Amino acid sequence: MSWFLSHTDQVWGLLGHHAALAALPLLIGVLMALPLGWLARRHRALYTPMVAGAGLLFTIPSLALFILMPLILGTGILDPTNVVVALSLYTLALMVRTVADALGSVPPQVTSAARAMGIGSLRRFLTVELPLATPAISAGMRVAAVSNVSIVSVAALIGVPQLGSLFTDGFNRTFVTEIVVGLVACIALALAFDAVIVAATRLVTPWTRRRAS
């Protein structure tokens, strides 16, 4: 505890870096997954190859992907862009199937009624299908958010500063306290992400609150 109190600025700084490196790819990945999931649901022939391809993408070890990114992007090995792009791909891999299945869970009579009212495909997706699929998509986002918080830590092995740096430094110095502080901070960050996603989902889907009450 005394070590934490004397290094609060360091821990908060690493926590801020960690949060940014986990949150930005989550947003990018979800934004990319929405149109791809919509295509996979709209064109059944695309569903299997897109979902299978996304699943294969997630099997690539994170450390290997972090190291490959500078070669692909032409960035420096310590550039945080490598982590953002890699985690965006992981988020995309997790969310494509989630979005497709969430859209598929929208009652067909609802979409049929919207179509009968003359609502076009894009407008129907944005105003009817996506709002109804939001709770299911949110559940996938919660999984992706926790996954991102965990995977970001691996980037400490290539020198990108974030909470994982406490793990590597604590291990190198055989200092368990530093590792425990990093672990607790990661758990707290994951819980905070989860709470924000749940709150945002309830905010944009008020009908679910009325149904629960």
The pLDDT tens digits of the residues spanning 140-179 come to 999 999 999 999 999 998 889 999 999 999 999 888 999 9
pLDDT category at 124 given cuts 50, 70, 90 is confident
pTM above 0.95, yes or no: no
125 burial (CB, 10 Å; 0-12 / 13-18 / 19+) is buried
Q: How many CB atoms lie within 10 A of CB 35?
A: 11
Cβ–Cβ < 8 Å for 174, 109: no
Over residues 12-29, mean pLDDT: 96
178 burial (CB, 10 Å; 0-12 / 13-18 / 19+) is buried
pLDDT category at 210 given cuts 50, 70, 90 is low
Which pairs from 197-206 meet CB under 8 Å and 24+ separation? 197/138, 197/141, 197/142, 197/145, 198/138, 198/142, 200/138, 201/134, 201/135, 201/138, 204/131, 204/134, 205/131, 205/134, 205/135
Q: How many CB atoms lie within 10 A of CB 12?
A: 11
Between 184 and 51, where is the model more confident?
Answer: 184
Amino acid identity of residue 87, one-letter, is L
HEC string for 37-62:
HHHHHHCHHHHHHHHHHHHHHHCCCH
Amino acid identity of residue 92, one-letter, is L
Percent of the chain with pLDDT over 90: 57
Q: What is the pLDDT of residues 40-84, one digit of tens each?
A: 988 888 888 988 888 888 888 888 899 899 999 999 888 999 999
